[in-house]
């Protein structure tokens, strides 16, 4: 049942979208089709993404007050949590709003991976919609340079680099390590370190192992995310 829902709602629409784009883009370039499909998905998720970025920025503006709460109720984690939630409620900030975007994006990302990973350059006509034409040509060489069906060190490195810069934009500035940090502070710092430095390496490895198409998707997606962060921050400053 779950597999059927996944195929019907996510995999097949994205696959048909990619095949449609291959049919209409110049030179039937799969790489260009991947870029356009990625941007289309990001635009659909744009309202949720904007909300998440605004929440992240709002939470950062509250960091001085959160630090005061932590200092005032040091050793009393329950009271810290209660006071922090009261502060969020008072300022109209929902720190968990980004979870919705995460839950929406995870199955889409898996579906995109399957779309890029399965089949091409052979088109599976069994799952094509009746109004989607079968391309007469499928050009797997992105801009005539990179084979989308093979591994690419260059695109994988770009995917890892874009992931690093995206995390740098998204995460708050790391504080200097204290002499005697609490377990919670140590855990938070460790998490930030992993997100900043380990995640980009993981992305690089996965993007290289699976295919160039996945690496190109990841690079395009993170570039869009960085541009979105810049756009939101500039608009907030103007307002």
Please give the pLDDT value at position 97: 61
pLDDT tens for the 239 residues of the chain, in order: 667 778 888 888 888 988 999 989 888 888 899 899 989 988 887 777 777 777 777 777 777 777 777 777 776 667 777 777 777 777 777 666 656 666 666 787 778 778 776 667 778 888 888 888 888 888 888 888 888 877 888 888 888 888 888 777 766 565 555 555 554 555 555 666 666 777 788 888 888 887 788 888 888 988 888 887 777 777 765 55
Burial of 150 (0-12, 13-18, 19+ CB in 10 A): exposed
d(CA 125, CA 134): 7
For residues 139 and 28, the answer to whether their CB atoms sit within 8 Å is yes
> 180 lies in which domain range?
2-238
Neighbours of 71 (CB within 10 A): 9
Please give the pLDDT value at position 36: 92
Q: Torsions phi, psi of 141, nearest 5?
A: -95, 105
d(CA 57, CA 172): 9
β-pairing, 146-147 with 141-142?
antiparallel
For residues 73 and 79, the answer to whether their CB atoms sit within 8 Å is yes
Paired strand residues for 139: 29
For residues 171 and 239, the answer to whether their CB atoms sit within 8 Å is no
pTM: 0.75
DSSP string, the chain: -HHHHHIIIIIHHHHHHHHHHHHHSGGGBHHHHHHHHHHHHHHHTHHHHHHHHHHHHHHHHTHHHHHHHHHHTTT-HHHHHHHHHHHHHHHT--TTTHHHHHHHHHHHHHHHHHHHHSSTTS--GGG--TTSPPPS--B-EETTTEETTS--HHHHHHHHHHHHHHHHHHSPPPPPPPSS--HHHHHHHHHHHIIIIIHHHHHHHHHHHH-HHHHHHHHHHHHHHHHHHHHHHHHHHH-
Q: How many domains are there within the chain?
A: 1
For residues 59 and 95, the answer to whether their CB atoms sit within 8 Å is yes
Please give the pLDDT value at position 191: 60
């Amino acid at each position: 049942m779950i597999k059927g829902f996944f195929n019907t709602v996510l995999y097949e629409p994205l696959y048909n979208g990619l095949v449609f784009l291959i049919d209409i883009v110049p030179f039937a370039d799969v790489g260009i089709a991947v870029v356009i499909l990625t941007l289309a998905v990001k635009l659909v998720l744009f309202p949720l993404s904007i909300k998440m970025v605004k929440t992240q920025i709002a939470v950062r503006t509250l960091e001085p007050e959160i630090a005061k709460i932590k200092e005032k109720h040091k050793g009393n984690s329950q009271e810290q949590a209660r006071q922090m939630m009261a502060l969020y409620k008072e300022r109209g900030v929902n720190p968990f709003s980004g979870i919705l975007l995460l839950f929406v994006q995870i199955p889409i990302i898996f579906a995109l991976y399957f779309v890029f990973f399965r089949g091409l350059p052979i088109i599976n006509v069994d799952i094509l919609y009746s109004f989607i034409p079968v391309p007469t040509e499928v050009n797997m060489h992105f801009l005539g340079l990179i084979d989308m069906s093979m591994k690419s060190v260059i695109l994988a490195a770009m995917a890892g680099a874009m992931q690093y810069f995206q995390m740098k934009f998204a995460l708050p500035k790391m504080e200097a390590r204290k002499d005697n940090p609490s377990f919670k502070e140590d855990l938070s710092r460790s998490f930030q370190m992993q997100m900043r430095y380990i995640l980009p390496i993981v992305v690089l490895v996965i993007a290289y192992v699976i295919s160039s198409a996945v690496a190109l998707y990841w690079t395009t997606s993170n570039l869009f995310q960085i541009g979105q962060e810049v756009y939101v921050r500039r608009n907030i400053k103007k307002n």
